[in-house]
Structure 1
Amino acid sequence: MKAHFRLDTHPVAAAANVVQGDCYRITVLDAGLVRLEYSETGEFEDRASQMVVNRAFPPCAFTLKEGGGPDGVIEISTERLHLTYDGGDFTTQGLSVQAKGGFHSRDSVWRFGMGLPNLGGTARTLDDVDGAIPLEGGVMAFDGIAMVDDSSSVLLTDDGWIAPRRPGTLDLYVFAYGHDFRRALEVLYTLTGPTPLLPRYALGNWWSRYHPYSADEYLSLMDRFRDNGIPFSVAVIDMDWHLVDIDPRYGSGWTGYTWNTELFPDPAGFLRELHDRGLATSLNVHPAEGVHAHEAAYPALAKRMAIEPDSGAPVPFDPTDPEFLEAYFEELHHPLEEQGVDFWWLDWQQGGVTRVPGLDPLWLLNHFHFLDSGRAGRRPLTFSRYAGIGSHRYPIGFSGDTCITWESLDFQPYFTATASNAGYGWWSHDIGGHFKGYKDDELATRWVQLGVFSPVNRLHSGLNPFNTKEPWRFGPHAQRVMTEFLRMRHQLLPYLATMNVRAHEGSPIVEPMYYEHPDEPAAYTVPNQFMFGTELLVAPITSPADRETGLGRVKAWLPQGMWVDVFTGTRYRGGRTLYLHRDLDSIPVLARAGAIVPMVPADEIGGGTNPTSRIELRVFAGSDGEFTLVEDHDDQRWARTPITYDDSSGQVTVHEVQGEASTVPDDRTYETVLVGGGGDGGHDVQADVFRILDRAQMGFELKGEAFEVVRNSASAADAVMALQALDVAPNLLGAVAELLLAH
């Protein structure tokens, strides 16, 4: 295999960490991580696997106690776990690991062959999903212990290729970190490799639609987006870029590598035009049907695979053949990349069976496509479905074809956040849903709002002339809000670029609330709420608005401290669970008091994603704060700019750039916007209550009485009690009480 296909691995564990017998090997990799191997032949595996690329952990302190006699019990203890093993076959009675740290002894024990409650991980795909589905496990559990089975994955060889496992072996990894979820994640990344840095363009808005565009139609659409002030940074072309209406003897038309020149008469010129508009480009591929004689690249590929081109015999898709795989890239993909393709969308899952036992073809393609994409020194990228723990090494994840329903939307925040428990941080969903379902302006708008605060914001829709996501295809209110949010995504690019680096260093951009607050029971009761980077708490609205108030609502839990709504400036006292209500113009996105969020000013938004000459610093009052802005041009020339905020003086200080100063534009200016200042967060609460009552679909007399109560009550609590006595509807009472009791 070519040198760029060889992943850097360190698979051999330190000898001091190993306890070995005739048929077992136990490796204490870390105080909370133990590898358990069983081999009938006594042969053990020191090669990397598709999941594990590093076992060269430093020597770990542990105590070993071995009982005498043939049935002697082995006990291994570290500061985080206690292992007990009878030395024979792995059995439920003979092998267990207990997590230390104050957990109930019955709940924190993993026994071989028995499952344990897990906080969940992610799933291979959401194809055809309408609501919730079961998730695979991650490495975190409320009871403090989790197990990952690596027994069936393939191995990576020193020359960059793959090999099957020896039969009759077990290879298990037990994570016993209690509620130290961040350490569990840190160790997972040490074991399986870091999350790569994304190219900056991947952080902006993506346009995707399954539709047979022509080049002129696609470029005209991009120009209309620009003229409407809607920025995009990635243009995805679905499968109709290639020939699909083909002779049935050549297959179904789903697989293809030859441009449809009736739609795209000048492919290189088309891609150049997209680049000129600041758009990176991805093409959709379904490789599984092989390469047939109608393809432009067929003669060259057939010769390389020792097939006579005049025979017309197809070149089978066999990714387990290294000669085919190299030819696949060099004859099919590289010429199209030379025309201007930036990365590939590997659609479909390519089946589940190959000639190599245990090999998932999806994983293999993800692995080699990602490595191949970085061969010319570019920041590598591929776009495909999830193929098990370790897949975070191959971003970005395509979650599949979901149904356009409220139930699908409601599942996605939880699904995205929980994926971090398996180390998988860069999901890209079909924002707005793919197919089936129904048109609903409110649903579409709420989905775009979630997308803006998702790892990747890719608008997409299926093959139906009525199913598309251009904002102007919806009503005026939805169009305005979608446009504002899509613009905000590009305003957030400086913040997102910094979080991209943080993700590479081990903290996914979307994290469940229990990462920071593992011992707060309430943190586990808001599965759809998450932290979006270090500064922002997001509680998306994923159900229809109440008819009477016109407001959507979501149950949220705010950690201790003061929190400031990014859109309204309303300040909320933390340390409690409450309902947050919003009209269609926003969703609850709250910043910690003292947070600093670097943004692109609204009048500077464009399709580009590089560091800009003006930065707007959104500063959220109520506490001192600091933030380090991290930037580069996808070239590793890092600039780090520390920024601090002193709440007592209101002073924001931008400190000297650390690192590569040339990355920051010479004429860079910083503009400060203070949010949430003043005793009431800068808001007239009575005016806000008036607006809620004014829009409510209810009797005028009751509106008047309710407003008089708010105006004349001695305290907010008195007002809430009086409104309750007026028999104000629960949703309306909740919305008014939220404002009255916010802080």
Structure 2
Amino acid sequence: MGEQFIVRRVAAVRRTPDGAELDLVALPAVTVGVMPGWITGEPPLEQGIETTLPNLPDLAFPPLDEQHLVLRIQAVAAGTVRIVLGPDGHRTLDDDGTGLGIVVDPRPEPVAVTLEENPDEVLVGTGQVRVRIRRRPFGLVVENAETGGTVLRTAERLRQAAGLAMAPALLRDEHGTSLHLELAAEEDITGFGEQFSRLVKNGQRLVLRSEDALGTGTGLAYKPVPVWHSTAGYAGFLNTGAVTTADVGHTRPSVLGLTLADDALDLYVVVAPTLAGRLTGYTALTGRPPVPPLWAFGYWMGRCRYHSREEMVEVADRMRAHQVPCDVLHLDPDWLVVDRLNCDFIWNTERFGDRREFVAALAERGIRLSVWELPYLDPASPRFAEAESRGYLVRHTDGSLATIRKTPTPDGRPRALLDFSNPEARQWWQSLHEEFLADGVAVFKTDFGEALPDGVAQQDGTPPQHAHNLYPLRYNGAVSEAIAHCTGRAPLVWGRSGWAGSQRYPGQWGGDAESTVAGMQATVRGGLSYAVSAPGLWSHDIGGFFGPELTPALYVRWTQLGALSPLMRAHGLRPREPWTFGERALRIARDWVRLRYSLLPYLWQVAHEAAAQGLPMMRPPAMADEDPSAAGVDGQFLLGRDVMVVPVFDDGEAPVRRRFRVPAGRWRDLVTGELHEGPGWAEQLVALEHMPVLVRDGAVLPRVDVDASVRCSDDLLTRPWRLEAFGDAPATVELLDFDGVRRRIDLESPTAQGSAGDGFVSGVVRHD
């Protein structure tokens, strides 16, 4: 085992304009035989060692060789503090937080900061948050300054029977830097990105490294994010690209241990009593998503793969023949000439003909085209030599060409990766999209991006330990910016990989779920976990991507889930068109697709709220339920503030019993009208045709009538909205119409109030 150092005391304190800078002393630490815990060379009683323990072994104390570190406490917003630790002169100490490209606004708001000192402590605070640093032995506490309550505490006081420190506040060793935090008796932790395990992470150990997970049941994650929430009242955000291990009470039940593969720590703590408030504070630092065009919220259909223009046009025609609304058809890699883990933007005219004519043919049917890509180049591609000669490809620190890792190639040839840290390479990649966008391609599916190897030298000097996890953020950002530049509209990608800040580039989807009930359940959990880490627009492949043959009933259940998800796309290795699953499945799926289209006015409101406030569209039930027991509810979700969605995890055609949690207040089933009173649990017998969708008492849902003539969202642009008022609804509401105009509507006289008199609202339906 290499050298280990534990931070033990504060040596000096200096005031800074935004807080304080402290000199810290760390001492060598060793373990004792097989016992857990560490000792330093300090006197045993000073360390809390139980010298009277009968079976205490002889202790070989390490030397008192000091290591000096710098700790900075900075107030960056009223409820947000930044805690930076590193050796003197480390690049992180000189960075305002934006150096890695995750943080986009290092000072979201001006804030007054105070500094107090006494013999025992240093206190840095704002009106909302206060940081207490104990001088010796070193420890750190973050408090809600308004309530005085502790929200975060380092875990140095936790010990084992011999008195050895079990979880030192700050530990540095060959693995990097570790921060240990106490978990209070009833404290639950959520977050850490798109994890497909239970939403409450207590008891889990997670490695935050973006991987080609090859499913939702492998324990790997496409979009890990070093952001977590505590029910104690704070969110933590590690501003890093380094691989991070989050041990949430797994090794030590009362300790949240965070280990970064880096020699510096950059931690933001956002203090707020609600999950929504913490997400607003976090996204003020890292950015919020734009709202894509209305068609993005329609129904998308894809398959791995469509092999020709004729096949896709036939699917479009059958959508119209079966009167299923659809806005987007997705084309996977068959559009390429060299198409196996390669993307060089050379269109396959043999299979799909002239691209502009193909896009026009779909447009005649009211459908837009989505096109697949990935950031890897095959040596067989004509563009490989061009990119290599120009220095656009990632290289190792020894100068050799880097190739993808942990994603198998079909032919054994290596695949190179574009270096998005190189401005010229980034611009070149973006320029390859221009002709596609000019021809009318609407969106790119930014697949893969998880295979950057370790030990690479990025052109911009990004430290190698940060490069892997930052690669998905840079890749999706480059494509998103290209779409915005070429089209002049809010961009949209359909990305699989991600990291902190990825919410800026909507949307993302949950990767390759298995076509089973377990795959569907893991998908919902992954979406909820991602929602509290990178809030924005997220979705999934309806029916799952691979695995056992999808039953018609599971296809229906998954379609119901998709119809009430932020975005809606069916996709898989095998056909996902609803008519392939029989007449009953087609009928039910069509009904739920039409229900979604009727709710597009509501989804439009939710998307704009998410963009403005930094909230997810898909939300954990705890955001509407103050009961602490709701924190772990992860089999259902809120769609915005007012709609609770209860997916049915079953693959049979017979009715099944579904148990679900009802938040406080009255909630009415949108389809059946059945009333539920909360807080508490309800159980319902659910036929295949139905999925519980509950609407909160007091809500006003804007909807639009959808009949057999509706082909796509364009057909709804001029239709009047119908307002559905539930229970004790307000007398007036403000709504954003599809043109972006904010309208104020009087529910007592909706057709006579101001701008509503132009026929914007057809009437009000009350559900009392």
- State the TM-score, normalized to the length of structure 2: 0.72
Q: Where do 1:250-649 residues align within 5 Å? A: 252=340, 254-289=342-377, 292-294=380-382, 317-330=418-431, 332-353=432-453, 354-356=456-458, 357=464, 358-359=466-467, 360-376=470-486, 377-462=488-573, 467-506=574-613, 507-517=615-625, 519-544=626-651, 550-603=654-707, 605-609=710-714, 612-625=717-730, 626-633=732-739, 638-645=740-747
- C-alpha distance in structure 2 between counterparts of 1:305 and 1:20, whole Å: 41
Q: Where do 1:637-676 residues align within 5 Å? A: 638-645=740-747, 655-657=753-755, 668=760, 670-674=762-766, 676=767
- C-alpha distance in structure 2 between counterparts of 1:213 and 1:268, whole Å: 18
Residue type matched to 1:335 in 2?
A: E
* Pairing 1:45–2:92 present: no
Give 2:107's match in structure 1, choosing from 53, 56, 59.
56
- C-alpha distance in structure 1 between counterparts of 2:303 and 2:95, whole Å: 45
TM-fit CA distance, 1:305: 6.5
TM-fit CA distance, 1:208: 1.0
Instruction: Write out per-residue CA displacement over residues 317-367 of structure 1, whole angstroms, 9 at most, x where no aligned residue.
Output: 33333222222222x221222222222111112513342221232221112
Residue type matched to 2:609 in 1?
A: R
TM-fit CA distance, 1:214: 1.1
Residue type matched to 1:337 in 2?
A: L
- C-alpha distance in structure 2 between counterparts of 1:449 and 1:624, whole Å: 27
| Paired position in structure 1 for 2:189 | 118
Moved more, 443-452 or 379-388: 379-388
- C-alpha distance in structure 1 between counterparts of 2:622 and 2:417, whole Å: 48
Residue type matched to 1:145 in 2?
A: Y
TM-fit CA distance, 1:222: 0.3
Residue type matched to 1:473 in 2?
A: T
Residue type matched to 2:762 in 1?
A: Y
Alpha-carbon distance change, 595 to 57 in structure 1, aligned in 2, over 3 angstroms: closer
Moved more, 419-428 or 108-117: 108-117
- SS of 1:598's partner is strand
Identity %: 26
Instruction: Write out per-residue CA displacement over residues 124-149 of structure 1, whole angstroms, 9 at most, x where no aligned residue.
Output: 57632238878755342112234222
- C-alpha distance in structure 1 between counterparts of 2:129 and 2:22, whole Å: 21
Instruction: Write out per-residue CA displacement over residues 621-642 of structure 1, whole angstroms, 9 at most, x where no aligned residue.
Output: 4323354321244xxxx21223
Alpha-carbon distance change, 317 to 420 in structure 1, aligned in 2, over 3 angstroms: closer
Instruction: Write out per-residue CA displacement over residues 73-117 of structure 1, whole angstroms, 9 at most, x where no aligned residue.
Output: 3222445444232569xxx94334345677986976675511555
Alpha-carbon distance change, 578 to 458 in structure 1, aligned in 2, over 3 angstroms: same
Structure 1 contact 52–390 (Cα < 8 Å) conserved = yes
Give 2:81's match in structure 1, choosing from 13, 34, 38.
34
Residue type matched to 1:128 in 2?
A: G
TM-fit CA distance, 1:543: 3.0
Alpha-carbon distance change, 408 to 105 in structure 1, aligned in 2, over 3 angstroms: same
- SS of 2:532's partner is helix
| Paired position in structure 2 for 1:220 | 314
- C-alpha distance in structure 2 between counterparts of 1:321 and 1:59, whole Å: 34
Alpha-carbon distance change, 102 to 25 in structure 1, aligned in 2, over 3 angstroms: closer
| Paired position in structure 2 for 1:94 | 139
Residue type matched to 2:602 in 1?
A: Y
- C-alpha distance in structure 1 between counterparts of 2:559 and 2:261, whole Å: 48
Alpha-carbon distance change, 619 to 338 in structure 1, aligned in 2, over 3 angstroms: closer
| Paired position in structure 2 for 1:144 | 233
- C-alpha distance in structure 1 between counterparts of 2:723 and 2:666, whole Å: 16
**Greater percentage in helix:** 1
- C-alpha distance in structure 2 between counterparts of 1:457 and 1:654, whole Å: 35
Residue type matched to 2:367 in 1?
A: L
Residue type matched to 1:607 in 2?
A: C
Structure 1 contact 370–380 (Cα < 8 Å) conserved = yes
| Paired position in structure 1 for 2:289 | 195
TM-fit CA distance, 1:643: 3.1
- C-alpha distance in structure 1 between counterparts of 2:280 and 2:540, whole Å: 25
- C-alpha distance in structure 1 between counterparts of 2:139 and 2:696, whole Å: 49
- C-alpha distance in structure 2 between counterparts of 1:106 and 1:28, whole Å: 16
TM-fit CA distance, 1:303: 8.3
- C-alpha distance in structure 1 between counterparts of 2:385 and 2:236, whole Å: 49
Q: CA RMSD in A?
A: 3.4
- C-alpha distance in structure 1 between counterparts of 2:307 and 2:148, whole Å: 58
- SS of 2:350's partner is coil
In structure 2, list runs of 5 or more residues that go unmatched.
Answer: 1-14, 24-69, 156-168, 171-178, 195-209, 244-259, 394-414, 459-463
- SS of 2:193's partner is coil
- C-alpha distance in structure 2 between counterparts of 1:127 and 1:492, whole Å: 33
Alpha-carbon distance change, 77 to 324 in structure 1, aligned in 2, over 3 angstroms: closer
- C-alpha distance in structure 2 between counterparts of 1:145 and 1:253, whole Å: 41
- C-alpha distance in structure 2 between counterparts of 1:47 and 1:175, whole Å: 15
Alpha-carbon distance change, 227 to 98 in structure 1, aligned in 2, over 3 angstroms: same
- C-alpha distance in structure 2 between counterparts of 1:207 and 1:51, whole Å: 32
TM-fit CA distance, 1:406: 0.2
- C-alpha distance in structure 1 between counterparts of 2:746 and 2:225, whole Å: 41
- C-alpha distance in structure 1 between counterparts of 2:538 and 2:321, whole Å: 29
Structure 1 contact 131–410 (Cα < 8 Å) conserved = no
- C-alpha distance in structure 1 between counterparts of 2:711 and 2:361, whole Å: 16
Moved more, 76-85 or 275-284: 76-85
Instruction: Write out per-residue CA displacement over residues 639-667 of structure 1, whole angstroms, 9 at most, x where no aligned residue.
Output: 12233446xxxx65673239xxxxx9x65
- SS of 2:430's partner is helix
In structure 1, list runs of 5 or more residues that go unmatched.
Answer: 1-13, 155-164, 246-251, 308-313, 659-663, 678-743
TM-fit CA distance, 1:583: 0.4
Residue type matched to 1:282 in 2?
A: S
Instruction: Write out per-residue CA displacement over residues 678-698 of structure 1, whole angstroms, 9 at most, x where no aligned residue.
Output: xxxxxxxxxxxxxxxxxxxxx
Residue type matched to 2:231 in 1?
A: F
Aligned length: 610
